[in-house]
Amino acid sequence: MADPAYREQQWNQRYDPQIEDVNRLCDTLAESKPGSSVPYIDPIHDVDGCKIVSLFSNPGPSLPSGFMSFENDDPASIRMAEIYDAAGLRPDAFMPWNAYPWYIPDGKERALTMDQISDGVKPLLSFLQQVPRASALVAHGADAHKAARRLMKLENRAIVKRGFKIYEVRAPGERAFKGTPANQELWLKDIQSAYTDAMGRAGIRASQPI
């Protein structure tokens, strides 16, 4: 996404058929809170192929690319790209989402409030309705854990029918990964193991690492 030509290409493809329904939802969510905006999902992902959801906390105050994407250049995105590659998880088989999908006006890194968690649950459910083949959600960090638990308490019939499974793992950001190299390696393996298990349940064959 640091390459202007690539970023422009992704922007021009944000309403392509494989991602249009989700990115139209992003537009609707932005309109629901006047003055707010919601980052789009990278069109490298696919609504029909998505079987695993990666749930994070929030997009922060801004994303220079305008997209939730593991092609972004921040440390968390780079770390997630390495995890997906190590697990052999193709972009068309998963999709990212945020527990609170709107940009956070306050630039300070902090936990979401309970009101923000609550505000994000209905959009999360709407998002999951756009990816009907998804049967697993990997929740990264405490905010995502809380949102996933709230989601399951809804006992939505469409979600229950899928045999939906929640995996609670560490957030990929720098603050969550402060520790010794040995601990960092252990944390990475724990996250990769969650994705590997979810892939097995969903019948996703691992691709060869790049």
Q: How far is CA 31 from the centre of its chain?
A: 21
CA distance 102 to 59: 7
Do 109 and 98 touch, CB atoms closer than 8 A?
A: no
Please report the pLDDT score of residue 208 as a whole number. Answer: 63
The parts of the chain modelled with pLDDT lower than 70 are 107-109, 208-210
**Average model confidence (pLDDT) for the chain?**
94
Please report the pLDDT score of residue 132 as a whole number. Answer: 94
Please report the pLDDT score of residue 210 as a whole number. Answer: 45
Please report the pLDDT score of residue 127 as a whole number. Answer: 98
As its CATH architecture, domain 4-202 has: 3-Layer(aba) Sandwich (3.40)
Do 110 and 154 touch, CB atoms closer than 8 A?
A: no
The 10s digit of each residue's pLDDT in 148-178 is 999 999 888 888 888 889 999 999 999 999 9
Matching residue, tokens 């989402």: 97
Q: Which stretches of the chain are assigned E, i.e. beta strand?
A: 40-41, 52-56, 67-68, 94-98, 136-140, 165-169
**Would you kindly state where each structural domain of the chain is located, as residue ranges?**
4-202
